[in-house]
Structure 1
Amino acid sequence: MNGKPLAARVRVIAHRGASAHLPEHTLAAYARAIADGADFIEPDLVMTRDGVLLSRHENEISGTTDVAAHPEFAARRTAKRVDGVAVEGWFTEDFTLAELKTLRARERLPELRGTAHDGRYPLATFAEIVALAAACGRVVGIIPEIKHGTYFREIGLPMEDALLDALAAHAYTCRAPVEIQSFEIGNLRHLDSGRKRRGMANVRLLQLLGEPEEQPYDVAAAGGALDYAAMMRPPGLRDIAAYADAIGPATRAVLPLTPDGHLGTATPLVSEAHAAGLEVHVYTLRPENAFLPPALREGGDPARRHEAGSLAEMRALLDAGIDAFFTDDPALGRRAVDERGVGEK
């Protein structure tokens, strides 16, 4: 089925907003993504101490906020183990929402994308992002990712039912397309039961897939042997299809690189996923040389934007039959989809 998306439309997903242009997970980045034609906007979700869903890629926020510049929070710096990894810094679960609202976002990749927008934008809650989408004048899907699900559950701040409650509380997310993502398995199974019990027909689930040798953290924490490699083979895909609607592999799981840095022949993952009834939503397309396949770069500056190279990679993935893709630059994604005529089957 390569070359024939399973979905009715190939969707452009704004990865953390229009994060190639503005600091990720800010309302400004999401507004830019909507204006640039994204079909979905993606908020990663963590929890505050007082149980509010906040849009951040990690619960440790020293790299993406100005928390270190706030002397009143200096004593909050600490060390923890998150998903089995030692992490040091400041953590959202140690702050109330009111305290986090005093911080400002910073660019995650300053060496590539500069710092011109640092300090301008507050952190955004999930509720604020839903309100933004609801007011934009067209239907924009929301594709939240639950981050560190096992970790937050173990510290008494589970996100899964809180997210379903938040979706049910807003008229927009009761009717607009919603797709919940996770790299874990157990929480997606829980969400599958929850969406069915609540009659949430507009809510779909996406099983994210890491590197083949890695494991979902909830599996690893329970001492299980399942890894992503097994999940990407036909029996694993059939297991995923029992609770989820799509898989989210990395781009190289669909289009590996040749030894000389060109895009190689598509793997069977897309066709095998489609055979199992699963859509394929790949991550993540970025326009800077640093992220492009070597053969698609222009010049030697890692920070240089090379739109033609990014478009070429998008086109190759579209030809491989994917159903959606995450991109830091949704305007480029919209252009790639529209020019190839794959917006509609």
Structure 2
Amino acid sequence: MTRIVLVAVWALGAGMGTHDALADMAQAPAPIVIGHRGASGYRPEHTLASYEMAIDLGADFIEPDLVSTRDGVLIARHENEISATTDVAAHPEFAARRTTRTIDGTPVTGWFTEDFSLAEIKTLRARERIPAIRQRNTVYDDRYEVPTLEEVIRLVQRKERQLRRRIGLYPETKHPSYFDAMGLSLEEPLVSMLHAHGYRQRSSAVFIQSFEVGNLRQLRHHTRLRLVQLVHDSGRPYDFELNGDPRTYADLVTPAGLAEVATYADGIGVNKNLVVPRDSAGNLLPPTTLVPRAHALGLIVHAWTFRNENTFLPLSLRVAGPNGADMPAFYGKAIDEYALFYRLGVDGVFSDNPDTAREAMRRQGSVGVR
């Protein structure tokens, strides 16, 4: 499968001629679609139902964010604080466990996975995290359990047999320094579980991602699986803060920073504002040169997060409601946003709506059509 795309502005800006740019793009594989927390635009995130729907809608990979239970089992939650994504507050037997913890330097109040055994976690049910925007998803509240990593892997392998195509895993280690300090390291059980289920080689359909740097360096010594350095458009890795390292995420995408990332990771997973910035009003600005600079070092580039709703889209792609009303939950021109990033050469997109990501590829010109 090859990508058929227009010549991107960045390619010309980097000194690449039109013929060379077209030749390189013709050889490039189609970008992958990563089901961000599953198909979280349609089902409560990080549930088996969300992951399965993402696969059925065409996702190449699904993304489980991983935290730990008190007994050291990896489970899929966006955060270890679970009041927004489960019904834990409705369980009187757990009322006394509400507490305040400092997570990556920020005080957070609620219920935390590390205070629960797996058996206790399994008594909870998942809920929609942003009901004001995704009210339709709330019809599925309290229907699904919180899955373990092993349950996610088994789902993926079952769907591979059913659909007869390869489906990848894209796990993220959440707050690794925090969990390390509690004696609940995420890296060892993650690698052990993946290896035990046959994911051992660089060619395996797995990417392991983290916003921290130290745990990716550690992982490089323990697995051949591909690693991805996550990069935000502000702030800095929390392990840098702990270690007194003054560098920020912005430093990681400088020429020197990318060269260092390339010594331990296979790619970068970037906030899409680092590829196409926005001004304070939400208007798109000219693209940066991040994608070609990363590619020149052999790094893949996966951008996040793509969503259909107006509130997440740049101003020019939002669709007004009746009488020009601002409708944050309305779907905007999301396909146009995907098309822009595909033209700029990203290697993958994290999407809450994998079917929209696929449709944008089809409209781009037979890109990614199975």
Normalised by the size of structure 2, how large is the TM-score?
0.87
Q: Secondary structure at the match of 2:140?
A: coil
What is residue 301 of structure 1 aligned with on the other side?
327
Superposition deviation, residue 342 in structure 1: 3.5
What is residue 146 of structure 1 aligned with on the other side?
173
Deviations 1:52-90, CA, capped at 9 Å, x for gaps: 000001000000000000000001111110111101110
Q: In 2, Cα distance between the equivalents of 1:230 and 1:312?
A: 30
What is residue 333 of structure 1 aligned with on the other side?
357
Q: In 1, Cα distance between the equivalents of 2:288 and 2:78?
A: 29
Q: Secondary structure at the match of 2:222?
A: helix
What is residue 209 of structure 1 aligned with on the other side?
231
Deviations 1:129-186, CA, capped at 9 Å, x for gaps: 0000000032101000000000000000001111000001113676740000000000
RMSD value, Cα: 1.7
Higher relative contact order, structure no. (Cα contacts within 8 Å, ≥ 6 residues apart): 1
Q: Give the residue type in structure 2 aligned to 1:190.
A: Q
Q: Which of 211, 214, 218 is residue 190 of structure 1 equivalent to?
A: 218
Superposition deviation, residue 259 in structure 1: 6.7
Q: Give the residue type in structure 2 aligned to 1:144.
A: P
What is residue 289 of structure 1 aligned with on the other side?
310
Q: Secondary structure at the match of 1:208?
A: strand
Q: In 1, Cα distance between the equivalents of 2:353 and 2:58?
A: 10
Q: In 2, Cα distance between the equivalents of 1:208 and 1:261?
A: 23
Q: Give the residue type in structure 2 aligned to 1:343.
A: G
Q: Secondary structure at the match of 1:191?
A: helix
What is residue 33 of structure 2 aligned with on the other side?
12
Q: 1:165 to 1:256 in 2, by over 3 A?
A: same
Q: In 1, Cα distance between the equivalents of 2:218 and 2:355?
A: 35
Q: Secondary structure at the match of 1:194?
A: coil
Q: In 1, Cα distance between the equivalents of 2:245 and 2:281?
A: 37
Q: In 2, Cα distance between the equivalents of 1:81 and 1:259?
A: 30
Q: Secondary structure at the match of 1:180?
A: strand
Q: In 2, Cα distance between the equivalents of 1:262 and 1:319?
A: 19
Q: Which of 107, 114, 121 is residue 100 of structure 1 equivalent to?
A: 121
The count of aligned residue pairs is 335
Q: Give the residue type in structure 2 aligned to 1:162.
A: P
Pairwise mapping of residues 261-300 of structure 1 onto structure 2 (< 5 A)? 261-299=282-320, 300=326
Pairwise mapping of residues 1-345 of structure 1 onto structure 2 (< 5 A)? 2=11, 8-114=29-135, 115-136=138-159, 137=162, 138-171=165-198, 176-195=204-223, 200=224, 203-212=225-234, 214-257=235-278, 261-299=282-320, 300-306=326-332, 309-340=333-364, 341-343=366-368
Q: 1:75 to 1:261 in 2, by over 3 A?
A: closer
Q: Give the residue type in structure 2 aligned to 1:150.
A: S
Question: Any conservation in 2 of the 1:260–1:295 contact (CA below 8 Å)?
Answer: no
Q: In 2, Cα distance between the equivalents of 1:118 and 1:325?
A: 27
Question: Any conservation in 2 of the 1:13–1:324 contact (CA below 8 Å)?
Answer: yes
The answer for unaligned runs of 5 or more in structure 2 is 1-9, 12-20, 321-325
The answer for unaligned runs of 5 or more in structure 1 is none
